[in-house]
A and B are shown apart, each in its own frame.
Chain A
Amino acid sequence: MMLRLTAGRVGSLVARRAAVALTTSSARMASHGHVFRGPMYQIRRPQAEVTSNQQMALPHHENSLVPHVSLSIHPEVSEAVDMSKPMYWDRREIPLPDKRYKDILTPADKSLKEKEKGPWGQLSNEEKLALYRLSFCQTYPEMNQSSSEWKTVVAGVLYCIGLTGLVIIWQTAYVSPPAPRTFDAEWQAKQVKRMLDMRVSPIEGFAAQWDYEKGQWK
């Protein structure tokens, strides 16, 4: 089963993220007659460089459909996400993702993890934060922060409606056939008179607005 996905192309898949998250955690272990083998190829992972990303600007995801892979990547190299393994997701409905955010631990991180096994009161605040950032990419407020994307969306929608309006105007001038005779003013007048003669909706509707003694609208 080829489960190789390029991180940039995941967003175009129809598969829902929640379904994927569920399948990776629960269904993987359940046997539905479907055996997961390892990938049939060697996973190509770029050499992870030890850079301290934690001190840089807060992590940010453009495409929330892609689970964040915590490797230092050159932007031009698209990486393959192996979806048969537990993945990390920044999602509101998944407070504890299937795996830790940072895969590759520096020696400093490893020593911190060792210290974490002891009493937590001995950890300083910075160490606690560092441990958090090892396990998670974004906090909930960071995850939930709103963007101004809606303005672009509204602008795009109005623009398309405007274009459509222009197309329709052109169509009525050059494409539509002439109107049927029932649209003529004379025909419409005869139609109204016939409706009044028939007493259409005489109580609350059409003929109720006509004064039959005076022969005019009320």
Chain B
Amino acid sequence: MSLQKPLMRGLLAKRLRFHVPIAFALSMLAAVGWKYGVTEPRKKAYAEFYKHYDATKEFTSMREAGVFESVRPTGK
């Protein structure tokens, strides 16, 4: 009827040995996923946008639409 003596020591170490590598792997996965899923596409989008960006043209079309308060649309 005698039971086996249960584990009395090293409980935290055992838990850490199991969980910390998993935590590390998941964190690395999250970081890599964010970099290649979010930041790289974002950098590309900005580069693409400004490659053929004509500031004057944009300003003129915005002015004609009447969104500015400092300049009125031409012809007023």
Contact = CB atoms under 8 A, between A and B. Distances in A.
A99 interface: no
Interface of B: 1, 42, 45-46, 49, 58, 61-62, 65-67
Contacts, number: 17
A204 interface: yes
Contacts of A212: 61
Contacts of B42: 204
A40 interface: no
B45 A204 contact: yes
A198 B49 contact: no
Interface residues of A, number: 9
B1 A125 contact: yes
A203 B1 contact: no
A194 B67 contact: yes
Contacts of A199: 58, 62
Contacts of B49: 202-203
Contacts of B61: 212
A38 B60 CA distance: 91
Contacts of B67: 194, 197-198
Contacts of B65: 197
Given A125-B1, A198-B67, A203 B46 contact: yes
Interface string A187-203: 00000001001110011
A125 B3 CA distance: 13
Contacts of A202: 49
A194 B61 CA distance: 12
A202 B53 CA distance: 11
Contacts of A204: 42, 45
